[in-house]
């Protein structure tokens, strides 16, 4: 189906029929009225002669409420039933959206994850998609019917319902776009595009026309939840033409594209932050070969994901301090596991701190420019913000700071890298 596209991803030959995936996030389908509004967006594409697959999230707040119910039921024993509960918000919205479309005179039906099916592995709560049967949907699209698919859900090889991890409706949309070789995948949300930083915090953040897959992948994995990280990864691998746009205003949004499509690279394209950070410091760790393996081995076995790591130089050649970060929900497990192994590993004490935030600057232009990290350190120093841990990769620099400085740091960095709206 793909053919020549203009910058906005519209087919150049305007009479051509395109296949478009429209994904509506929680705020875009937050109640019956919003669903009716969203249905007009679908109607516009249908009237333009396009085939449309609509992917819906649950109404805003519903998934959190469902997760809360499972928590109240007591310690989680059966993740398969967790998935049955938390996927239900998408199911009812798929039915409601199909009804909204039918009321506009559009042929539409819902396709639940197991009816398509969208096959996944059996890792309940964060299943991975392994394949999608497209024949049934394709034959209905060909006769002009709109397919409405609940996001976030699939079917495991055990024939049980699975969910794809929080924010997983983005992944459903991108996976369908890839499998159906769609011309465009539009992610409708409550902001009109991808900004240089979270526009709810940095008021001078600027909407980008385009961003590379690679930068968006870094920004998402470093906390910019506007797109689920795994969905960006899949879009990059399958070359899905992705647009983030608003369901509240008509404008074009931000396109996520490959590097070749962007002529002039910014050195820093965006600034992300993640509040889900906790720091663990082991004091007086014995300085001998194998000690890092002794610490991180048991953590990995307990499925604790370690992110940043710093080991100090040992002054006396006998002991050293070692600091690392984990997600806040894993802090308790990390501390318990290490306390159990204290005598095997050999350390003096353990200190934990969960009141932290990770701030990251991201840009593919960093590959060819020096001094990016220095600008960050200077800007933070000028505001009196202390850096606790630093990590870098080819296209990002991350620092860990006290959570109370989040807004100050984001705004200062945004200015320091010349990203503020009025800088044009």
The Cβ-side half-sphere exposure at 243, using a 13 Å CA radius, reads: 21
Using alpha carbons, list the distances in angstroms from residue 362 to 7, 222, 240, 365, 394. 24, 9, 22, 9, 9
Nearer to ligand ASP, 25 or 178 (CB): 25
Burial classification of residue 13, based on how many CB atoms lie within 10 Å of its CB (0-12 exposed, 13-18 middle, 19 or more buried): exposed
Environment class of residue 147 by beta-carbon count within 10 Å: exposed (0-12), middle (13-18) or buried (19+)? buried
Q: How far is the CB of 118 from ligand ASP (least distance, A)?
A: 14
Residues 148-167, mask of contacts with ligand ADP (x by CB under 6 A) = -------------------x
Q: Which residue, 46 or 164, is less far from ligand ASP as judged by CB?
A: 164
How many other C-beta atoms are found inside a 10 Å radius of the C-beta of residue 269?
A: 27
Does 199 sit near ligand ADP (CB under 6 A)?
yes
In whole angstroms, give the CA distance from residue 245 to residue 194: 8
Instruction: Using DSSP bridges, classify how beta strands 108-110 and 319-326 pair: parallel, antiparallel or unpaired.
Output: unpaired
Q: Tokens for 196, please give them.
A: 């240089």
Task: Based on the shown chain and the rule CB under 6 A, indicate whether residue 151 belongs to the binding site for ligand ASP.
Answer: yes
Is the distance from CB of 278 to CB of 329 less than 8 angstroms? no
Alpha carbon distance 129, 141 (integer Å): 22
**With contact defined as beta carbons under 8 Å apart, do 367 and 395 qualify?**
yes
Q: Does 25 bind ligand ADP (CB under 6 A)?
A: yes
Residue 198, binding choice from Mg ion, ligand ADP, ligand ASP, none, Cβ under 5 to 8 Å by partner class: ligand ADP
- Cross-strand bridge partners of residue 357: 401
Question: By Cβ distance, which residue is nearest to ligand ADP?
Answer: 25
User: Using CB under 6 A, which of 189, 212, 269, 274 touches ligand ADP?
Assistant: 189
Restricted to residues 222-241, the positions that interact with ligand ADP (CB under 6 A) are 224-226
Smallest Cα–Cα separation from 11: which of 57, 56, 48? Answer: 48
Rule CB under 6 A: choose which of 31, 144, 200, 371 binds ligand ADP.
Answer: 200
Q: Which of residues 157-176 bind ligand ASP (CB under 6 A)?
A: 166-170
Determine, following the binding rule CB under 6 A, whether residue 26 of this chain makes contact with ligand ASP: yes
When asked if residue 110 is in the footprint of ligand ADP (CB under 6 A), the reply is no
In the region spanning residues 74 to 103, those forming contacts with ligand ASP, defined by CB under 6 A, are 89
What is the per-residue binding string for ligand ASP in 211-250, x denoting contact by CB under 6 A? ----------------------------------------
* Whole-number Å distance between alpha carbons of 360 and 159: 41
195 makes contact with ligand ADP (CB under 6 A)? yes
Q: How far is the CB of 109 from ligand ASP (least distance, A)?
A: 21
If one counts every other C-beta atom within 10 angstroms of the C-beta of residue 388, the result is 18
Scanning 37-45, 128-136, 184-192, 314-322 for contacts with ligand ADP by CB under 6 A, the matching segment is 184-192
Cβ-based burial of 334 (10 A; exposed 0-12, middle 13-18, buried ≥19): buried
Of 113, 151, 154, 167, the one binding Mg ion (CB under 5 A) is 167
- Residues forming the site for ligand ADP (CB under 6 A): 25-28, 57, 167, 189-191, 194-195, 197-200, 224-226, 270
Where does this chain bind Mg ion (CB under 5 A)?
25, 167
């Amino acid at each position: 189906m793909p053919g020549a596209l203009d910058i906005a991803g519209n087919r150049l030959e305007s009479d051509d029929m395109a296949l478009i995936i429209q994904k509506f996030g929680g705020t875009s389908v937050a109640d019956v009225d919003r669903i009716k509004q969203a249905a007009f967006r679908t109607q516009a594409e249908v009237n333009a002669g396009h085939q449309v697959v609509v992917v819906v999230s649950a109404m805003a707040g519903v998934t959190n409420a469902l997760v809360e119910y499972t928590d109240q039921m007591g310690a989680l024993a059966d993740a398969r039933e967790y998935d049955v509960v938390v996927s239900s918000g998408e199911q009812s919205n798929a039915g409601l959206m199909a009804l909204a479309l039918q009321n506009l005179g559009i042929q539409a039906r819902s396709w639940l994850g197991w009816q398509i099916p969208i096959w996944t592995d059996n890792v309940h709560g964060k299943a991975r998609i392994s394949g999608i049967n497209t024949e049934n949907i394709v034959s209905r699209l060909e006769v002009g019917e709109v397919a409405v698919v609940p996001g976030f859900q699939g079917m495991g090889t055990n024939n049980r319902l699975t969910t794809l991890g929080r924010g997983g409706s983005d992944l459903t949309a991108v996976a369908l776009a890839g499998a159906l070789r769609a011309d465009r995948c539009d992610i409708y949300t409550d902001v009109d595009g991808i900004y240089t930083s979270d526009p709810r915090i940095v008021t001078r953040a600027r909407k980008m026309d385009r961003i590379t897959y690679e930068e968006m992948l870094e920004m998402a994995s470093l906390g910019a939840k506007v797109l689920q990280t795994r969905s960006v990864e899949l879009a990059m691998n399958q070359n899905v033409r992705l647009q983030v746009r608003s369901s509240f205003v008509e404008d074009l949004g931000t396109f996520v594209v490959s590097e070749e499509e962007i002529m002039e690279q910014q050195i820093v394209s965006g600034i992300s932050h993640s509040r889900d950070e906790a720091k663990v410091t082991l004091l007086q760790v014995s300085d001998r070969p194998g000690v890092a393996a002794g610490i991180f081995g048991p953590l990995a076995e307990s499925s604790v994901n370690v992110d940043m790591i710093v080991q100090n130089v040992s002054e006396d050649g006998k002991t050293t301090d070692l600091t690392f970060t984990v997600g806040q929900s894993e802090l308790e497990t990390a501390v318990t596991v290490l306390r159990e192994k204290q005598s095997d590993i050999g350390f003096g004490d353990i200190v934990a701190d969960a009141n932290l935030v990770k701030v990251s600057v991201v840009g593919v232009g960093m590959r060819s420019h020096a001094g990016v990290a220095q600008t960050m350190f200077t800007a933070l120093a000028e505001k009196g913000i202390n850096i606790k841990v630093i990590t870098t990769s080819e296209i990002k620099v991350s620092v860990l700071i006290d959570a109370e400085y989040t807004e100050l740091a984001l705004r200062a960095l945004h200015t320091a890298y010349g990203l503020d709206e009025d800088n044009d």
